[in-house]
Amino acid sequence: MAVAAYLKEIMNSPDSSAIRRMFEEGAALKRAYGDEAVFDFSLGNPDVPPPQRVLDTIRRIGGENPCGVHGYMANAGLPAAREAAAKKVSREQQTAVPAGCAVMTAGAASALNCVCKAILSSGDEVIVPAPFFSEYRHYVHNFGGVLVPVMGKREDGFSLNIDGIAAVLNEKTAAVLINSPNNPTGRIYTAAEIQALAQVLEAHGKKTGRFAYLICDEPYRAIVYGGNTVPAVFPLYKNSIVVSSFAKDISLAGERIGYIAVSPDCEDAAELAAACVFALRTLGFVNANAFFQRVIAECWDCAVDAGQYERRGRLLMGVLDRVGIDYVRPQGAFYLFCAAPPRGENDAGDSRAFTEHLKKHLILCAPGDGFGCPGWFRMSYCVSERAIVQCEAALCEAVRSWRAGDMGES
């Protein structure tokens, strides 16, 4: 009678749950000081409401209760939902994707776990460009896999480091996992970068006989700025898999609805899709919840107004410019990835200590260590424009006292 020892160790590691811990601490600070007094940039929890058509559909479906709609179904999902996901991915990937290649999941986190279970044997490696969404560690470890981070090119906004990826490819490499637009940088990997990556993967596959899957985690695809678009990956590399959700694109994060779409050009597309369905079932997801599958069947082509996030991003960049904090200019998503300011001339920036310091000023941000990028921290701008404007004075004072080495209570 005890929690598994290995799990306790992971649970207590500082990077394992920095963002979620911040979420809980933020809630406690808000109870103590009031909601208005705490500036919470820690969690990417979409606060732009879902599009009106989504809300109307939820209302209508809630009022309808024909026989059997709340029951079990084929594990892969309702036919109408799979067709909708396939239509969406067909459009985005410029490839005709049949419904049989789409599997409805409980969000992208569910989708990634199912893909990892489907493809990983113990000791297999998954390469991920850093910085990366910190939960990837767990999704890969769950199935005996090893996450192999490859730092992106800082000088180019953390673009893909193709040479770095090529250098770590080996016969244990099961997949490369990219996230575009990227959490935490907001970077969209270009078609040229994907093309270069695909060439490296093709060459490696031909040499070793094991082709790595390219897994593209795209939950922020619709949240892009300044005329940017997320390039199609299926035409560039045949062994590709898209995982995504409706969490951010239409603000249904808590409803847990997403999908896996296997490229029809993938050499073992049918078997891979079947393995993902098996994983979905046996990991206990069973099927994505029926209600939101029905919503998505009708609303797969909706998206929130990305302009709201863009305005907030611009406001926050203005604040950081004035305060003197360096950051990566985002092309999508709703995060600013920022360099922790040095405390003295020879300091590289300690993001963990800096975010702890910010907390004393009631400003919550996620340290970069969890994203595989010490020295950086992430600010989510899923917050009101008012909060962004109002945080400036506190942030300015926090940075001043940090640089001055004053670590006392604010």
Which residues between 39 and 78 bind a copy of itself (CB under 8 A)? 43, 45-47, 49-50, 55, 58-63, 65, 67-75
Residues 6+ apart with CB under 8 A from 359: 25, 29
Binders of a copy of itself in range 104-123 (CB under 8 A): 106-107, 109-114, 117-121
**Choices 81-89, 132-140, 156-164, 387-395; region in contact with a copy of itself by CB under 8 A:** 132-140
DSSP type of residue 267: T
Taking phi first (over 0 means left), then psi (-120 to 50 degrees means alpha), and beta for anything else, what does residue 227 get?
left
Smaller CB distance to a copy of itself: residue 40 or 350?
40
CA-nearest of 231, 300, 292 to 256 is 292
Specify the 3-state DSSP secondary structure of 103.
strand
State the Cα–Cα distance between residues 85 and 256, nearest whole angstrom: 15
Two structure tokens written together for 312: 């907030």
Specify the 3-state DSSP secondary structure of 249.
coil
Smaller CB distance to a copy of itself: residue 240 or 331?
240
CB of 164 to a copy of itself, least distance (A): 21
CB of 275 to a copy of itself, least distance (A): 4
Binders of a copy of itself in range 316-355 (CB under 8 A): none
Specify the 3-state DSSP secondary structure of 284.
coil
CB of 285 to a copy of itself, least distance (A): 6
Decide if residue 90 touches a copy of itself (CB under 8 A): no
Decide if residue 206 touches a copy of itself (CB under 8 A): no
Smaller CB distance to a copy of itself: residue 104 or 395?
104
CB of 36 to a copy of itself, least distance (A): 16
Angle made by CA atoms 38, 41, 307, in degrees to the nearest 5: 120
Smaller CB distance to a copy of itself: residue 89 or 119?
119
State the Cα–Cα distance between residues 216 and 267, nearest whole angstrom: 17
Q: Could you give the dihedral angle defined by the CA atoms of residues 42, 48, 50 and 56, in that order, rounded to the nearest 10 degrees?
A: 140
Binders of a copy of itself in range 5-44 (CB under 8 A): 5-8, 10-11, 17, 20, 23-24, 27, 43
CB of 327 to a copy of itself, least distance (A): 24
CB of 187 to a copy of itself, least distance (A): 23
Smaller CB distance to a copy of itself: residue 257 or 328?
257
Query: Helices in 180-238 by DSSP H: which ranges?
Result: 191-208
CB of 349 to a copy of itself, least distance (A): 28
Residue with tokens 């490819």: 169
CA 409 to chain centre: 34
Furthest-apart CA atoms within the chain: distance in Å: 69
Residues 370-399 vs a copy of itself: string with x where CB under 8 A?
------------------------------
Strand (E) or helix (H) holding 241: strand 240-245
Binders of a copy of itself in range 244-303 (CB under 8 A): 251-257, 266-268, 271-272, 274-275, 278-279, 281-292
CB of 393 to a copy of itself, least distance (A): 26
φ/ψ of residue 275, rounded to 5 = -65, -35
Smaller CB distance to a copy of itself: residue 236 or 275?
275
Site size toward a copy of itself, by CB under 8 A: 91
CB of 54 to a copy of itself, least distance (A): 9
Smaller CB distance to a copy of itself: residue 101 or 253?
253
First to last CA, the chain: 44
State the Cα–Cα distance between residues 315 and 274, nearest whole angstrom: 46
Smaller CB distance to a copy of itself: residue 84 or 319?
84
- Answer for the pair 123, 144: CB distance below 8 angstroms, yes or no: yes
Pairing of strands 39-40, 363-364: parallel
State the Cα–Cα distance between residues 39 and 316, nearest whole angstrom: 12
CB of 295 to a copy of itself, least distance (A): 10
Binders of a copy of itself in range 134-163 (CB under 8 A): 135, 138-139, 142-143
CB of 23 to a copy of itself, least distance (A): 7
Smaller CB distance to a copy of itself: residue 201 or 365?
201
Residue with tokens 């590691």: 13
